[in-house]
Amino acid sequence: MYKFSIVSLVFLMSVMAFGQKKKDLLNEIAQLKSQTSAMQEQLNNFKEAKKLNLKDSLQNFSYAFGVSIGNNLKTIGFDTIAYNAFVLALEDGIHGKEKIAVREAQGIVQTTVRKLQEKEAKIKSEKGIQFLTKNGKRPEVVTTTSGLQYEIVKKGTGAIPKISDRIKIHYTGMLIDGKVFDSSVEKGVPAVFKVNEVVKGWQEALQLMPVGSKWIVYIPYQIAYGPNGRPPIPPYATLIFEMELLDIVTN
């Protein structure tokens, strides 16, 4: 009888435990259904938000404003942001409910952008060093003490400019990835300027080139536009120029 009571008790406890597990399982299923429903609602809202009507003046302005911000972010070096936080911040800012004070927000933006630019600059600087190191090993390339490199495509026989001379020249300027940022050749008009009006790398090259010469010149960032760059030339950029010295202008 005692053993029977124990068995009955164990059986009863098992049944109760099973019932509790079943109840817990049903609760979990209900929660999962609720979460699924909420996720579906968010998805529907997202799909609705993706609909765009540029004929609506407010949507047209909003989209244009987004394009402007997106382009600025891309220029700085960002390829993504936390869009949910960005949209929330816009809404909070419009209604004066910012979770971060405006001045503090500006500081965060400036610090983050500076860090990103420093990182990008370091990468560009290292790529430039690697490029020049490899390029300098080619037998046709001459490297000067400043780090300037040049190769002679056509050797001229004319006079060599002095630092105070005004020269006429055709050129095409490129980054080391081959992207052209300026070209008198494309404009169809030679450039005219004084030797001392250009960056140090150009000054050095021009005072080595006889008139009639055509060179390819490779300029380290230190004797180009330095750590700051000059739009559209990025900071720490090593530059390549195809240069044809046409004349020394005497008038």
CB 194 within 8 A of CB 165: yes
CB 174 within 8 A of CB 180: yes
Instruction: Report how far residue 250's alpha carbon sits from residue 22's, in angstroms, rounded to the nearest whole number.
Output: 99
Average pLDDT, the chain: 86
Interval 105-162: pLDDT, tens: 899 999 998 888 788 878 888 999 999 999 999 999 999 999 999 999 999 999 999 9
Reported confidence tier of residue 192, pLDDT bands at 50, 70, 90: very high
CATH 3.30.70.100 assigned to domain 142-249? The reply is no
| Ordered alpha helix ranges (H), 159-217 | 184-187, 200-206
- Which pLDDT score is estimated for 122? 83
Interval 40-64: pLDDT, tens: 666 666 566 567 888 889 889 988 9
Domain ranges of the chain: 142-249
Residues with Cβ < 8 Å from 104, sequence gap 6 or more?
none
Stated pTM of the model: 0.62
**Statement: residue 10 has pLDDT above 50:** no
- Which pLDDT score is estimated for 118? 81
Three-state SS for 23? helix
Instruction: Report how far residue 182's alpha carbon sits from residue 220's, in angstroms, rounded to the nearest whole number.
Output: 17
Instruction: Report how far residue 240's alpha carbon sits from residue 20's, in angstroms, rounded to the nearest whole number.
Output: 76
